[in-house]
Structure 1
């Protein structure tokens, strides 16, 4: 895989948190327009159509049994014309991808592991082989045949050579529409080594044929082990490390432990993904909850963005950008905050004590010489914390003590006496809040 697009953690927008399975072409373009105008300069550059863009009867809040998926003659999924009118005439996502590219953005789609069940029950020839699509699917009785939460597909039987041939056809056709990003689900729980390797091979072949780079994102990440890091790094660009995350503090709090485990493994071309940011206006036609402004407080939103950046997680906004409030958009496009995710190393958890967590990172490249720390309170009420400067990673025996430290969300400057070996930071933190600090 070329994978030049994942030198830093990928950033973008995904339709799932606000539109579930029902997003339309107009909604994709409206979000792309805001991203291009308001967010691209800060690194946000990818727009992703999530699950079931090929399901004519898709609905909010669940999946239909034996859904009538729209397929081409080879069994490859096609966009539903009623929701994506530019796909008429067999053009697939080509016209929509072109319009997204014209905005300076990358275009992505979601796929499920395996082959559509309807292509198996209604067999058709596998291009370039003597087999049919009925020959290459795992039998229903096989434990890897079924996704536990979506019945659209059956797993491919990679002991049959035509299985790779069909997967090559599927991925080549989709990448040929101008797709730059593939989010592929039902890959990691359980961990499907064979499906991951076959998918990576198909993407490499499609990249070579079309002369483009495709970012591969794998989901979901329930109980994903760091034992898989070498295999993941060889075959994917990013991988989820949790189940779906929503706008609940308990979901954010649970990511501290996961990200502490994964942060030492973050580097170019291989990013542990803490999941989408359920911020702004979400739940319009989504899987969970009614239309709402994100239930996360301002403090929790900033804690989330601080932690995701300090841990170098990919960042994918889940809220509807045209109707998202200005304060959230301002936080999403804070260049000082996003410099951490893009230009840092030695990221990790430094302290965890009595509802206090401290993370640190060191700047690289154009930010060499910068050091960052996030001081997080997991307490349910506002409080003032005192943290020794030496516990933040902002100084050490081989680094000079900074005289000024800046809190990046407020812009407030903290004066430090460089001669005081007992210098302590006194920080007023909201419930579930953070002080995100930079010393330069």
Structure 2
């Protein structure tokens, strides 16, 4: 580490454990995702019943709601679109998707990007046709349709891993995922490549090396506070594998879905994903979205934390009982700070400045209330709602 960088960390008072990586890891991932991808995926709301009309309406709503303007670019069809292969092995969509090229053109016509889903196995999670043995063929088909994003879900490929050693399982997954990456690269079309292996094989250690831009590092998220918190906390220690072009993925957003439709829970969910530099892939019913949900998903100051050009993944730096303190260094030299209350009733809480590497009084801005707090120090008390969060930007240029 250069002397200048070491002195910067000393000035901030950050211990070695709090020094975020400089992303020197070798990676073969393309540069399609310099910041965490933002978009909408069909699965959380529609499941395998999704139709082409549902996708068109989602594209319409992304634009009408202001989400597209806020940065949500990708409209992703998850499982359930696949039909069968013809005599030449070409995969065709099922009757719910009569013209995939036309659908992609519609999405592109809205100024958005088009995403799709497949599996390295013979079948997808929903039992539809996977890409096993047809990787190059499917990549060409996807490119011909105008696909900009591929979610590649392990699913039935796991049956091939049974009885193998952990080392062999990992090698097989790497080979399968690399094969599709190479097939996508051969088409010449830039495609964001998203692996879904639920953390199998410590995917964060090699995801970038097989060409992925993001990889699922946890089990599937469910629409509930405990599931959301589990996936967030499972990112601890993975910071050094995240950075521009390659991201840890704690799964899609459940904001706006039943079970995660309390505004305080929604703000906590969004705050943690922003602090984690996580992909922001919404999964709610966009047509029925409440004003509160829309404001959570489109708050520009919170989105700026997630999309910060430095690409550092934040982490939990302190905890006292039910109160957690999360932090993420930003490109402008400030610090994004989340004060989280995991209890079902409000709490008063202060910031542990030592854990944050701060001293004295520093400027702070509340990103959810979108107001400057002036100078605050370690004695400043915050009222944190039940299951809620206070999200701050702290440092010399934190105020507007």
Q: Tell whether the structures are fold-level matches, with TM greater than 0.5.
A: yes
Supply the RMSD in Å over aligned alpha carbons.
2.4
- The offset of 1:204, in angstroms, is 0.8
Pick closer, same or farther for the CA change 1:14–1:389 going to 2, 3 Å.
Answer: same
1:416 corresponds in structure 2 to 375
Structure 1 equivalent of residue 59 of structure 2: 32
The aligned residue for residue 268 of structure 1 is 244
1:102-154 C-alpha deviation (Å, 9 max, x unpaired): 111110111122346xxxxxxxxxxxxxxxxxxxxxxxxxxxxxx7x554457
Please tell me whether residue 236 in structure 1 is matched to residue 209 in structure 2. Answer: no
Structure 2: runs of 5+ lacking an equivalent: 1-27, 159-168
- Where does 1:77-92 land on structure 2 (aligned, <5 Å)? 77-81=91-95, 83-85=96-98, 87=99
2:314 corresponding residue in structure 1: 347
Tell me which residue corresponds to 1:159.
none
Larger Rg belongs to: 1
Counterpart in the other structure of 2:192: 215
Q: Which residue of 1 aligns with 2:148?
A: 180
User: Does the 8 Å CA contact 1:303/1:433 hold for their aligned counterparts?
Assistant: yes
Aligned-partner SS, 1:225: helix
Which secondary structure does the structure 2 equivalent of 1:34 belong to?
A: helix
Contact 2:42/2:77 (CA < 8 Å) preserved in 1? yes
Shift in alpha-carbon separation, 1:52–1:18, aligned structure 2, 3 A: same
Separation of aligned partners in 1, 2:42 and 2:113: 14
Deviation at 1:314, TM superposition (A): 0.4
Cα 1:18–1:299 change in 2 (3 A) is same
1:169 Cα deviation from its structure 2 partner: 1.3
8 Å Cα contact 1:263/1:312 also seen in 2 = no
| CA displacement at 1:217 relative to structure 2 | 0.7
Cα distance, 1:306 vs. partner? Answer: 0.5
1:369 paired with 2:328, answer no
Spell out, residue by residue over 1:84-110, the C-alpha distance to the aligned partner (whole angstroms, 9 max, x if none).
24x1xxxxx111111101111110111
Separation (CA, whole Å) in 2 of partners of 1:178 and 1:221: 27
Task: Check conservation: 1:374, 1:435, Cα contact below 8 A.
Answer: yes
- Relative to structure 1, is the Cα distance of residues 152 and 97 closer, same or farther in structure 2, using a 3 angstrom cutoff? closer
Tell me the TM-score normalized by structure 1: 0.74
Q: CA deviation at 1:172?
A: 0.9
Q: 1:407 to 1:279 in 2, by over 3 A?
A: same
SS of match in other structure, 1:183: strand
Aligned equivalents of 1:46 and 1:234: distance in 2? Answer: 22
Aligned counterpart, 1:360 = 327
1:430 aligns with 2:385: yes
CA distance, structure 2, for counterparts of residue 388 and residue 299 of structure 1: 22
Query: Which whole-Å CA distance do the structure 2 matches of 1:232 and 1:356 have between them?
Result: 34
Give 1:1-400 correspondences, 5 Å limit: 3-37=30-64, 38-54=66-82, 69-81=83-95, 83-85=96-98, 87=99, 93-115=100-122, 150-152=126-128, 156=132, 163=133, 166-186=134-154, 191=170, 192-206=173-187, 208=188, 212-223=189-200, 225=202, 228-280=204-256, 282=257, 293-343=258-308, 344=310, 345=312, 347-364=314-331, 368-393=332-357, 395=358
1:5 match: secondary structure = coil
Point out where structure 1 has 5 or more consecutive residues left out of the alignment. 55-68, 88-92, 117-146, 157-162, 283-292
The CA distance in 2 between the partners of 1:215 and 1:47, in whole Å, is 12
TM-score when normalising by structure 2: 0.81
Equivalent-residue separation in structure 2 for 1:411 and 1:151 (angstroms):
46
